[in-house]
Each structure stands twice: as structure tokens, then as C-alpha cells.
Amino acid sequence: MRSVKNKIKVAGSAFLLSLLLAPATFPCTCIIQKHRADFRRARAVFVGQVVGIDRNRLIPERLSGSVIYSAKFKIEKAWKGSWKSEIAVFTSREFACGGFDFQPGEKYLVYVFEGELVAFTSCSRTRPYSRSSDQKDKELKQLDNFWFGLFAKAIPF
């Protein structure tokens, strides 16, 4: 009887010790690129207001696992990509990684990637325009700088 209690104590102690020594796990890990690298990779970068959400738009097969809906934006200012007054982009929703849904009437700073125009809302520079932050203000200042755009296209780092 005594050896069974000792085995239970040892097993319990080992279990608790493994919990203490186990590395922390997170639902996702974001790899943050330099602003210049993200600007260079992006197909389009703009500030726009959401004028519509289309959850029934046909999603390209290549994106069917990661994209949920399409958001249409009225572009207020563009630094790269579409020079049209409106653009529709696909978006995904990954709340575990800080993602969010685009809301009609709200304004966003949007970085669009991939050939099918995908705006990721998690682990991305895409964010609500109204969210005040020093990082967003710094990015907007860089986007407005002629030399930033020139060097981002010419120098890959």
C-alpha cells in the first residue's frame, strides 16, 4: 500500500513539475516585418471607408480556406496600388491573433496582399484609422514621404 502512495506522489510531483517547466503556448505568433518590407510586398496601401460588406461574393478556390468575406472601400488616400475611387478586397477573420471584422462606415488604414487582393486583419498593419497610436502616426508620416516610397521599391530591406 505504501509503494502505491509513493508512486502516486512521484507521478503527481512529476506532472506538476512538467507544468511549471513547460513553455508558454500562444494561439498564434505574429512575425512583424519592417514597414518598408510590408509596403514593398503590398499590392495596395490606402486609407478608405467601408461602404459595403459582401458575404456572398464568390471566393477564389485558392483562398477558400482562409477568406471569409469581401469588403468594399471608398478610397480616401492611396499610396500604392489601385487609383480607383473604390476597391473590393477579400478579408479573413482570425480573432485569436487580434483580427477584427471590418465595419460599414468605419475608416481603415489597409495593406492589401496577394493577387486576389486580400487584406488580413490579424498580424498585419491593417487597422482602424481612428485607433490612435504613435505607430500608426509614424507609418502615415512615412507613407507621405516621397523618399520612403522610392526606397521601399528600390531597396528590398
pLDDT value of residue 113: 81
In tens digits, the chain (157 residues) has pLDDT values of: 567 677 677 666 666 555 555 555 556 677 778 888 888 888 889 999 999 988 777 666 666 666 677 889 999 999 988 778 988 887 876 655 666 788 899 999 988 887 667 777 767 788 888 876 788 888 889 999 988 888 777 766 5
CA distance 108 to 124: 12
Domains in the chain, please, with CATH?
A: 35-154 (2.40.50.120)
CA distance 81 to 83: 6
pLDDT value of residue 74: 95
pLDDT value of residue 29: 72
pLDDT value of residue 62: 62
pLDDT value of residue 60: 66
At residue 42's C-alpha, the angle toward residues 105 and 116, to 5°, is 75
pTM listed for this prediction: 0.72
Taking 3-state DSSP, the helix, strand and coil percentages for the chain, each rounded to the nearest 5, stand at 35, 25, 40
